[in-house]
Structure 1
Amino acid sequence: MTSVLVVDDSQFMRTVIGNILADHGYEVYRASNGERAVEAVREHSPDIVTMDVQMPEMDGIEAVDRIMTEYPTRILMLSAHTEDGADATLRALASGAIDFLEKPSGEVSTDIAGLEDRLIDAITAVEDAHVASLARSRTAASARRVAGGVETPTGTSSRSADPADMRDDRRSSTWSDATADEDRTYLEHPTIVIGASTGGPKVIERLLCSLPLDLDARVLIIQHMPPEFTVRLAKRLDDRCAYRVKEADDGDRISGGEVLVAHGDRHMVVAHSVAGRSKVRLTDDDPVNGVRPSIDVTMESVAETVEQPVVGIALTGMGKDGAAGIRAIKDAGGTTIAQDEGTSPVFGIPRQAIATGAVDHVLPAERITDGVLDSLSTEVTTHG
């Protein structure tokens, strides 16, 4: 029997969530704060943890960090529908939580029972996640020093620094030692399209922050998330990476060194592209593959409108969204990369992309930057 530890400072929430899970055949444990959650994980070794974000004594972020460091476990965050809740959830995802589910009406959600189907679907997806990949991701993340509450590349201090001032310092550094010391020249006007779902934010952050600015790429990111989370994801990436990042607005133009994150609940289409500058449109068209924004929609529009060089990347996530887009980019002459199974918390999206036969390189998360730079270099360097 699959066991779930329900962590929430509200007894009401612990009872309702626990009863839903018990009714669906899960063995349920409960904890009222982060400190007790760490103790319960140590004692019961649950298969899954549902973790509230805001709690007394030890909040969910610190608890995730402790658990993923000491006892790597599948963690699903339960997040309040607020700006602070979104920021905290993204921090928890960066620490190793797999996914999140929004509480429908704040910290104490009296209508949580109405989310029964979504809760069980999220638990089912998390249940299939690879714990080993989470441990590896946490180990890699721990190599980054936390200075003044901001994660930075090793050897770079951000204490008391404003993010805008920090950006210039980050222009000459990356998080990938394999790429930082190489004397490369790159193809002109490259475009990189990154698609991800469950488990994606921390991989996206690592990948984007390791891209050198002299690559001068246009980067489009499609992460399956609701609107209030995609805007906070864009802000987090902008604070931490050398590239300038924003959530996409209808009519935005993107040039080299810039990144657009697809707006939650809207498709992002590249409508026009010329001379290293692209224009995007946002649409309210029906979901594709059951999701909006859809990776396929953006990738297919890139294949139709953007001149080479283009790199399409399929990262961790559940479902088949992105497979058709990867095929379209490959057919248009682009390079395609999929994250490997060993480092993908959920291998659905990469697996479906690989099954098309259109993926050029299957790489672990820590090697994807090298794959991108090799494909966009005027002289290719092969990494063993």
Structure 2
Amino acid sequence: MVDGSTSAVVADDSHFMRSVISDILEEGGIEVATQARDGAEAVEAVRTHDPDVVTMDVEMPEMNGIEATERIMAEHPTPVVMLSAHTDENADVTFEALDKGAVDFFTKPGGEVSMEMSRLKDQLVDIVTSVADVDVTGGAAKNGAGGSTATAGTGTVSRKSTSTRSDAASDSTGVHDEREFVDNPTLLIGSSTGGPKMVETVMEELPTAADFRVLIVQHMPEGFTGRFAERIDARSDYEVREARDGARLAGGEAVVAAGDYHMAVKNYRNGRLRVKLNQDPPVNSVRPAVDVTMETAAETIDDPLVGVILTGMGGDGADGIRAIKGVGGHTIAQDEATSAVYGMPKRAVETGCVDDVLPIEGIAGGILDTITTEVTR
């Protein structure tokens, strides 16, 4: 760190991209300590320069970004932002890098790269600055804080259970409660920076017996939300898919808002809801926006609503939380200690409309408590 500014290591096998990224960061007030041509150089650069953050290319010779991230997290824990191209293959390895400890990712533009990177420079500076503040030394921010998540490629087989109206759930003392749930609840989850692992953690712990219709809005670009939905589907008992225009949702099912599309709740009848996708202008500078989904849900759904805001930068979701609370729904925000970036949850709490502020490991239980009608032992 130089003169109190944020310092970064820029790792990319392209000299051109290293230069473009370094110029953007330095223009944004971030000191570039050094550049690295591959993963091995990135690991050594982190050891030598002790930066606040690393921007890491996914595909590099000698040692790729996944291996480098794993080494850095094991030897010299430092926040890492992956820089990924818009391809299916890069989406897969980017999520694998998140499993290894990366905090978030930023997608490299296609086409005329220098012009596109210039257009996106404010976003890149914002995410690098935010990620640099994440504590990755032991606790809160990453690797499924407060809950375990399976690593990609473990060969784990997902079991999709049949939805019922009660659930045997164990509490922290190992005592099993027989829960009875209200009918036809809808759960809305919004997140951004550091969110993918947190969303997976919550969904892993959510039984289909609760019979939620789940709408997930994660700030994520086109080409990545489909893979994200597949990951949640493999790790939870819910049937999870990327949202499509006109998609209908019943109990035990979940959709992830598609990248670059707002997801609005179009109608709701007899416990089934339908979503509408649109490319209206960004809201809170993002598309999809959490506010769009939460506000339209509050306007349309007359059965129980639960709104949850997880880690992320910015203020998206605050108006949505206000709308859900306004129609009698229950609202939850992730606490600061377990949030990678306490931006979205903080803004939600500041509305005065959040019922519970919980650590990530308590959120699934908190969600279930909101729809539990009685507990017998």
TM-score after normalising by structure 2: 0.88
Match of 1:310 among 305, 310, 319: 305
Q: Does 1:274 align with 2:278?
A: no
Query: CA RMSD of the aligned region, Å?
Result: 2.9
- Segments of structure 1 that go 5 or more residues without pairing to the other structure are 151-156
Q: Structure 1's 93 and 174: CA in aligned 2 closer, same or farther, altered over 3 A?
A: farther
- The one-letter code sitting in structure 1 at the alignment partner of 2:373 is T
Q: Structure 1's 210 and 308: CA in aligned 2 closer, same or farther, altered over 3 A?
A: same
Please identify, of 75-84 and 235-244, the stretch whose mean Cα deviation from structure 2 is larger.
235-244
Assess if the C-alpha contact under 8 Å between 1:33 and 1:55 holds in 2: yes
Match of 1:50 among 48, 51, 55: 55
Corresponding residue for residue 14 of structure 1:
18
Q: Secondary structure at 1:183's aligned position in 2?
A: strand
Q: Structure 1's 312 and 139: CA in aligned 2 closer, same or farther, altered over 3 A?
A: closer
Deviation by residue 1:136-160 (Cα, 9 ceiling, x = unmatched): 53374895564x823xxxxxx72xx
CA drift of 1:88 comes to 1.5
CA drift of 1:72 comes to 2.6
Assess if the C-alpha contact under 8 Å between 2:330 and 2:355 holds in 1: yes
Match of 2:68 among 46, 63, 71: 63
Corresponding residue for residue 8 of structure 2:
4
**Number of paired residues?**
367
Larger helix percent: 1
Q: Does 1:167 align with 2:172?
A: no
Provide the C-alpha distance between the structure 1 equivalents of 2:349 and 2:68, rounded to a whole number of angstroms. 35
Provide the C-alpha distance between the structure 1 equivalents of 2:19 and 2:210, rounded to a whole number of angstroms. 52
TM-score after normalising by structure 1: 0.86
CA drift of 1:348 comes to 1.0
Please identify, of 177-186 and 346-355, the stretch whose mean Cα deviation from structure 2 is larger.
177-186
Corresponding residue for residue 153 of structure 1:
none
CA drift of 1:218 comes to 0.6
Provide the C-alpha distance between the structure 2 equivalents of 1:371 and 1:242, rounded to a whole number of angstroms. 18
Assess if the C-alpha contact under 8 Å between 1:21 and 1:28 holds in 2: no
Q: Structure 1's 20 and 271: CA in aligned 2 closer, same or farther, altered over 3 A?
A: closer
- The one-letter code sitting in structure 2 at the alignment partner of 1:310 is L
Corresponding residue for residue 286 of structure 1:
281
Q: Structure 1's 341 and 132: CA in aligned 2 closer, same or farther, altered over 3 A?
A: farther
CA drift of 1:89 comes to 1.4
Deviation by residue 1:123-175 (Cα, 9 ceiling, x = unmatched): 233234344676553374895564x823xxxxxx72xx5xxxx3248999999
CA drift of 1:228 comes to 0.9
- Percent same amino acid at aligned positions? 51
Deviation by residue 1:292-311 (Cα, 9 ceiling, x = unmatched): 11111111111111123211
Provide the C-alpha distance between the structure 1 equivalents of 2:162 and 2:144, rounded to a whole number of angstroms. 22
Alignment of 1:221-370 (within 5 A): 221-370=216-365
Assess if the C-alpha contact under 8 Å between 1:64 and 1:95 holds in 2: yes
